[in-house]
Each structure stands twice: as C-alpha cells, then as structure tokens.
Amino acid sequence: MFDGASNLAQGVDNAFFFIFAVAFVFIVGITAFMIYIVVKYKRSKGKPAMQFSRNIKLEVIWTVIPLILVILMFYYGWVGFAPMRKVPKDALEITAIGRMWEWEFDYGDGKVAKELVIPVNKPVRLNLKSEDVNHSLFIPAFRVKEDVVPGYDNYLWFTPYYIGDYEILCTEYCGLLHSSMVSKTRVLAEEEYEDWLANLEATGDIPDPEGLVLLRETGCLACHSLDGSKLVGPSFKGVYNSERVVVDSNEEITIVADEEYLKRSIYEPDEQLVKGFNKGLMQSYEGTVTGEEADLMIDYLKELE
C-alpha cells in the first residue's frame, strides 16, 4: 500500500511511520517489562514487596518525554496535512456528486461520468456536492478523503503520479447500499484523457438557462412560482402571451402579456396589476435589473409553457 500514488501520500505515510514506530517501541517495551516484573517479582516467602510509592524525577521524565513525542507526532501529522488544503490554481476542477448510492463526476457542459477519469501528473480538484445525505469520498491509494455534506462546499485535491485504476469508496454511512457506493478513478495519459473527454457525450443536466439563473438570483422566485402555484405574486408558468385581466387606474381591462407588458411589470409593477393581487407588494427593479437582463428573463419566460 505504500506506493506513493499521489503527491499527498508521502506526507501521510511519514506520519504513519513515525507514530507506528514510537508505538511499536513502547508497546513491545512496556509489555516485555511487565512480563519481566511478573516473573522476577513473583510472590514467594522471604521476598517482601518493596514499599516505595513515588519518585519525582521519574514522574517528571515520563511526563516530559511523552509530551515531546506527542507534539512531534502532531507536527508530522500537520506537515502531511497542510498541503491537502492548498489547491494549486491550475488544478483541473471536477464536481463530484454523491447521491444514494452512486458517484457522479461532472466535467461541465453537461458531460458527466460514473467514473473519475483524470490525466496523470496534473493536479485535480474535486468539488464535493451531495444531493441527499452525508457521504464521504475516499481514494485510499491517494490518501485523500473528505465528507460530502449537503449544503457545504467541501473539496479535496491531489496529483496522481501513475497511470492506472484506483478504487473510490464511500466512507460516511449513507443507508442501505452504502457499501456498494464504490467507483473507480482511471488515471490516463494526457492525450488519452483529452480523447476520452472529447468523446464523452453530454448526457448530464445542461446548465440552467441564464434567464432562470437571473430570476433565481434576483429573488423573483420567492414570490413567483414556476409550476403554476400562486404565491405572493402570480406564477410565471405559461404567463407569456396569455390573456390577463389587469387593473389599470381602477379599471379592469384584458391584455395579452407580451414582451412589453412583462418588461413593464418588472420596472413598474403597480401600473397594471393582475386582478386579485395587491399594490405595493412588489418593488420596482429599476436600477437592479438591467435591460439586457430583463430580456434574458423574458426569453426564459417564453419557454415556460
């Protein structure tokens, strides 16, 4: 197992080596000493027990030496760990998605794969996303592991050193098929990786249209639903080109919600208020939403049948 398959392996293994070496010496030494005592001081007539019960010098020694040793252990652990949090700027970014009970790797542009395919000798950063409960992405050969927690932007990174296949395991219990939540890392030569990526079909989710992202980020969706349900304001579903009864200066009129109407609703929402909704609930987005952004939003609304 000590084959240093990634840039982080050496630091981890050094810490292992130091801790286990100290442990071995102490465990074997103390055990041997206890056996020696039991044999040497076996109870027998005419061999009374000594009655000492303290020795300050000894007690200081065996407080200070362990203290130094554990601080050294801590130090080795820290040195091996510190690089794990310093991701190089040029790292290849891939989103690793954990869901009950499979891994998915998102290369952007809708390109997703069930295995992690990466080029050799290039730093890789995995952004960890959970779609449900906690998981943990563990690649033993690379000495990397980080929990995949819903709502958290956890990450890990490493540079693989050798071409080959390595196991990916889930190490945070996640329910029924936790133990089947395994995948593989395939480390390829650079060109092979490029080929693989080029041939990877975009089957995953296409990124959200810009208009939708804008609607979401501006906060419109807090009051307008996309699914037809009525919230504080009318739903966006099917609004484009629909006939609406609106109140225009205390008069009910029927209009068609065309581009122009929609745009006005963003900037002067109270001018023509859909019947059944109250004035003053929606602020004007003048100065918040640019004309260009409003067009993108409306483009999106057009597609919402």
Partner 1 sequence: MDQTNKYTHTSYLENEGRFKGILSWLLSTDHKRIGLLYMNTIIVFFLVAAVLGLLMRIEKMAPGADIMDAQTYNGVFTIHGIIMIFIIVIPGLAAVFGNFFLPIMIGAKDVAFPKLNLLSWYIYVIGAIMGVLSQFVGGGAPDTGWTFYVPYSAESATNVLFALTAAFILGFSSILTGLNFIVTIHRMRAPGMGWFKMPLFPWSLYATAWIQVLATPIIGITLLLVIAERTLNIGFFDPALGGDPLLFQHLFWIYSHPAVYVMILPAMGVVTEIFPTFSQKPVFGYTAIAISSLAIALVGYFVWGHHMFTSGISYWSRWFFSFLTFIVAVPSAIKVFNWVSTMYGGSIDLKPPLLYAISFIFLFMIGGFTGLALGSLATNVHLHDTSFVVAHFHYIIFGGMGFAFFAGIHYWFPKMYGRMYNIKLANIAWGILFVGFNVLYFPLFIIGLQGMPRRYFDYLPQFETGHFVSSIGAFILFAGLILMLYNLVRSRRKGPWATANPWKGVTLEWQIESPPTHENFETIPEIKHPPYLFKKEND
Least distance to partner 1 from the beta carbon of 27, Å?
A: 5
Q: Which stretch binds Cu ion (CB under 5 A): 83-91, 115-123, 129-137, 224-232?
A: 129-137
Kind and range of the H or E run holding 213 = helix 210-218
Does position 174 bind Cu ion by CB under 5 A?
yes
- Residue 50's binding partner among partner 1, Cu ion, none (Cβ under 5 to 8 angstroms by kind) is partner 1
Letter string b/e over residues 73-106, b meaning 16 or more CB atoms within 10 A of that residue's CB: eeebbeebeeebeebeeebbebbbbbbbbebbbb
Does position 178 bind Cu ion by CB under 5 A?
yes
DSSP H helices in 121-189? none
125 forms beta bridges with 93, 157
Fill in the DSSP letter of residue 288: T
Q: Of the candidates 118, 141, 170, 220, which one interacts with Cu ion according to CB under 5 A?
A: 170
Binding mask 235-274 for Cu ion (x = CB under 5 A): ----------------------------------------
Q: How far apart are CA 204 and CA 143, in angstroms?
A: 29
Query: Which structure tokens are listed for 93?
Result: 């970014």
Least distance to partner 1 from the beta carbon of 272, Å?
A: 35
Q: How far apart are CA 115 and CA 201, in angstroms?
A: 14
Whether a cis peptide bond, with omega within 30° of 0, leads into 196 is: no
Least distance to partner 1 from the beta carbon of 166, Å?
A: 10
Least distance to Cu ion from the beta carbon of 33, Å?
A: 29
Does position 122 bind Cu ion by CB under 5 A?
no
Q: Which stretch binds Cu ion (CB under 5 A): 25-33, 132-140, 231-239, 278-286?
A: 132-140
The dihedral sign for the CA sequence 88, 92, 98, 103:
negative
Contact 74, 62 (CB under 8 A): no
- Residue 247's binding partner among partner 1, Cu ion, none (Cβ under 5 to 8 angstroms by kind) is none
Does position 148 bind Cu ion by CB under 5 A?
no
Does position 128 bind Cu ion by CB under 5 A?
no
Least distance to partner 1 from the beta carbon of 26, Å?
A: 7
Residue 143 or 224 having the CB closest to partner 1: 143
Q: Which residues bind Cu ion (CB under 5 A)?
A: 135, 170, 174, 178, 181
